[in-house]
A and B are shown apart, each in its own frame.
Chain A
Amino acid sequence: MMDCERIADYFRAVYEGDSDAQTGKMVKDHLKSCAACREEFKWYGVTIQALANLEQVAPPNDFLKQLNARIDKNSSIFQSIISQIKNLMNAIPTAPVPVGAVSLAFVTFCAFLVYNYTPPELSQGGKSGLSLNSNAQNGAIAVDSASRPVDSGMVASAPFSPQTAPFSHAYVPYDGPGRSSSVAWRFPTVADEIGADNLTVESPQMDLALKSLKEILPDIQGKLIDEKFRNAFGEALVGVIIPSSRYGDLTSALVNYGAIEVGAKSLESDSPAPTKVDSRNVRLYIRFTQAPK
C-alpha cells in the first residue's frame, strides 16, 4: 500500500491515464481506502476542470486591420537607412581600399546619427526615445531567461548560435507593455543591427553591477572595449571582448554580484548573438539598466 505522502506525485499520471497498470491500481486502491487523499485527488480534478472551463475570449473584429496598420507603421525611413548601411557594408570587402575606407567612415557617421536621433513623435511623449532610452521606460529590458536558473547553461549557451556575420539578425521591434499601440513603436537602432545588447543586466544597483563587471573581466581574460552610451535614463552599454568559452562564467559572475535579472536571447532570437572576433574571442555588448525599485 502506498503511503499518503507519495500519492499526490501520481495524481497527474492517474488522472490522465498515463500511469502503468500496476501504479494506477495502487493509487486507486489507496484512494478508495483513504478519505484524505481522495479529497486531495478530487480537488486536483476540480482544478483541472476549472482551468479548462475558463470562458473563451476572442480578438476584436478589426484585429487584422489593426495589426497591418502596426506593421506598416514600422516600415519606416529607418529601415531604409539601415538597409543602405548594410549594402555598403556588404560592398566593402570587394571595393578598393579607399572606397572601403570612405564607406566605413560614412557608415560610422550614419550610425552615429541614427543612434543619437530621437524621432519627434516619440520624444514628445517624453516616454519613449530611441534605442537605449525607450527600453528603460517601457520595460523591454529584462528579456526572457530571468526565471530560469542561470547555471542551467541556457543563458551561457543560447547566444552562441552559429551566427557570425554582423548583420545576420532580423530586427525585432518591441513596444512597451501597457501603452496605446498608436505611438508605441520603437525604431530600430544601429545598436540593434550591429549586434549590440547581446545581454541585458537589470539591477537595482546598476553602479555595483557595472563595477562588478570590470572586476570580473581580468579573471576571465576579457577586456573592456567600450563604455560610452550612458543616458539620462540611467542605462549604460558596455562592450567587452571575452573568450567565447568564458561567456558562462561572465553571466554567472554577474548574477552572483547581485545583478538581479540577466536576460539573454529569447527563443525567437530577438537578442543578437555576440559577434565573433576571432576563433577564440567574441565581442559582446551588455546593457545595464536600472531595475524598478
Chain B
Amino acid sequence: MPEDIHLKINGQAVSAPAGSTILKAASSVGVEIPTICYHDYCTSNGLCRICVVEVSGARTLTPACVAKVNEGMEIQTDSPRVRRARKTILEMLAASVDLSDAPDIQAMLVEYQAQPDRYPDAQTRSPEVIQDNPMYIRDYAKCILCWRCVQVCAEDAQFTYAINFSGRGYRTQIGTFFNRPIPETTCVFCGQCIGVCPTGALKPKKQWLMEQGQTTDEIMRLTRSQRRAKTKKTTQPAPEGGAA
C-alpha cells in the first residue's frame, strides 16, 4: 500500500494514496472537477485545461487530471480564478467547433454560465464531413482535438498508426498520410477511435446516415455494395457522395 498524502481540498482535510492525481483525490471525497480530454483508458496529456485548480503557492493554475497530490497541498477547485479560466475556455471552444453532439460540454457551458456566442466573429473550424469508407464518417467540424483517437490508434490500444495530426495551432486537424482515404491507410476498422470520441466527430456510418434521415433499407443497400467494392478493390475507396 502506498503511503497516504495529506492535503486540503476546498478547506476540507483529505488523505489520498501517494501518486494519485488531484482529480482522483477530489473525487474520493465527492468533489467533482470537470474534465474534457481526460479518459480513464487513454494517456492523459493534460491539454484541455478545463480541470485546472488553484494550488496555493503555484504560479499558474494546475491541471487536476495529471498533477499528483503532495503533502500539505492546499487546493481550491472552484475559486473565481478557476471559474474564469474554465468559462473562457468553454466560450472559446464553443466559438470554434460544433458542440451539438457533445452534451457533457453543453452541460458545462450552462454550469459555468458561459456564453457560447461570446465571440461572434470568430473563425470556426468547419471542414466538410469525410465519407471515405463504409464503416465510419469523420466530421472534424465537431473535433475538439482531445487526441484520444490518435492515441487509441497508436500505443494506447491498437498499434495501427493510421491517423495523426496535420497543421498546427488553431489549424491542427486529425488526418492521415497526405490525407489519403482511410481504406488506403493501415486502419483495421477496429472502431476504437469511434468509441473514445467524445463529440460525435467520429461516428459509425450507419448511425450517421440514419441521422441524415436515411431508412435502414437504404443504408443496408448502400453499405453492402460498398463493402463489396472494398473487397474487390482495396486501394480504391468506393465512390461516394460528397459531404451532406
Q: Do the two shown chains form a genuine complex with each other?
A: no
**Chain B residues in the interface with A (C-beta under 8 A):** none
Instruction: Please give the residue numbers on chain A whose beta carbons come within 8 Å of chain B beta carbons, in ascending order.
Output: none
